[in-house]
Amino acid sequence: MKKITLALLLLGLSVFGTAIYADVTLKTKEEVQGTWKLQSATNSLTDKQPTDREDTWVFKDGKVTILHIPREGT
């Protein structure tokens, strides 16, 4: 089950990887390390209405952990 979850996470990151905007330009992978707050996202490249997000992504030791993933109704 962990392999499927990891595969889906990597697929999701690769799909949204082309539509990510950051305030800073990252030059090395060490600059990615740390905690990142996701503020908004769109469902597709053509979606005009961004969705507010509340999740936090933690990059540490080559792994990503997503905290506080909003669920419907919470």
pLDDT digits 0-9 by tens, 46-60: 878 888 888 888 998
pTM listed for this prediction: 0.51
Q: Binning pLDDT at 50, 70 and 90, where does residue 13 land?
A: low
Q: With beta carbons less than 8 A apart as the criterion, state whether 54 and 41 touch.
A: no
Q: Tokens 């997503």: give the residue.
A: 66
Query: Does residue 19 have a pLDDT over 60?
Result: no
Q: Tokens 């597709």: give the residue.
A: 44
pLDDT of residue 72: 65
60 compared with 1, residue with greater pLDDT: 60
Radius of gyration of the chain (CA): 13
